Chains A and B, each alone.
Chain A
């Protein structure tokens, strides 16, 4: 029997393998990883300092342990160069491998606007970042989105002097209301925030803005967003937009090829978070094994891992008609986006208001019904 081949050893890859193995103890599984294949939690990278973790202790299981547990082969340090859907084959260097079904769990690359900035997108990137921080004091972070805010809080709590730069005028500009943003900004008070900041250049040790101002720093960390890895699929002729396009059955346009995780786009949505992977992996596993189930996403609020200012966000779908309603006090902010019919379509909570997450989440419409 030809194996089910999974390309990628991030959460999407391993979770797919786990779900497939749960349903079928016989099907041969091969997981191909371009790195060490060790299993770790990506969301924990932006919290590792304050939770006392270093790059080694972030490894939850080694590739060998995962292989053993999944009764799978895990091939490490191997880059898949091409997919040949008509032949049901992939190539790794000069070698060709057959698959029965192929799962692309390729992940995403960090957007890079400045060559001299570091970015943390995986465990080895995190290790490099930690090494660069040795003996340093000042860190500049480009981007005040989820990842930027999480790293900023983590590093500030660890005693670094942190500057955050963003072209927006508040933290989490695309996710929360100005009131929430303000509250978060105040709660992370040791951080120097620079709003409306257009960066013209990053030179060794300094950040130059378009308005002529300059800031000294030791390290620059870029956290401006992700770009799904679509090259492998595109080269093989699969349909791609922002991500690799899949149907509600998680099938790409190539026969017997599926995609999941940060590289995938379904019904116009690219959702690089943990919860969508959990839902998608259960559907994907069934379909890889011959069923025909459809992906459903419930509402999936995202917890922002900033211990100094707990926050939960569930933005309304782009284009939703309605308005934000905000209640704020010294303990926190509750912003709810209500549609014209008065139904809750999204929310942003910070401080004590995060305790209302579960109740509010129940009122939200499904992301994909």
Chain B
């Protein structure tokens, strides 16, 4: 399971945790999140996320 960080605001998407409140189940891989998804904190598009340092 990987972690991804929004390069703009620092929000972290943790694949292990998912985002149940947005309908994204725990364990959902990054590549399975829809392309039109945006960072819930700042609105940055999925393409502007980067892999977070472990």
Residues of A bordering B, CB below 8 Å:
11, 41, 43-44, 47, 51, 60, 274-275, 278-279, 300, 303, 305, 355, 357-359
Contact = CB atoms under 8 A, between A and B. Distances in A.
B22 to A, nearest CB: 6
Contacts of B40: 357-358
B33 interface: no
Given A275-B43, A278-B42, A303-B41, A43 B22 contact: no
A274 B45 CA distance: 12
B8 A274 contact: yes
A305 B10 contact: yes
B10 A11 contact: no
Contacts of A305: 10
Contacts of A303: 9, 11, 41-42
B8 A43 contact: yes
A300 B38 CA distance: 13
A121 to B, nearest CB: 17
B7 interface: yes
Contacts of B8: 11, 41, 43, 274
B10 A43 contact: yes
Determine the main DSSP class of B at the interface with A.
loop
Contact of A41 (B7, B21, B38, B45): B7
A60 B7 contact: yes
Nearest to A41: B8
Interface in B3-54: 7-11, 21-22, 38, 40-45, 50
Nearest to A14: B8
Interface centre among A43, A279, A355, A359 (most CB of B within 10 A): A43
A44 B10 contact: yes
Given A43-B10, A359-B21, 4 more contacts: A41-B8, A60-B50, A274-B43, A275-B42
Contacts of A359: 21
Nearest to B50: A60
Given A279-B43, A358-B40, A274 B9 contact: yes
Contacts of A43: 8-10, 42
A44 B53 CA distance: 15
Contacts of B38: 278
A44 B43 contact: no
A116 to B, nearest CB: 30
A279 B21 CA distance: 23
A41 B43 contact: no
Interface centre among B8, B43, B45, B50 (most CB of A within 10 A): B8
Contacts of B43: 274-275, 278-279, 300
Contacts of B22: 358
A278 B44 contact: yes
Contacts of A51: 10
A190 B38 CA distance: 35
Nearest to A42: B8
A218 to B, nearest CB: 27
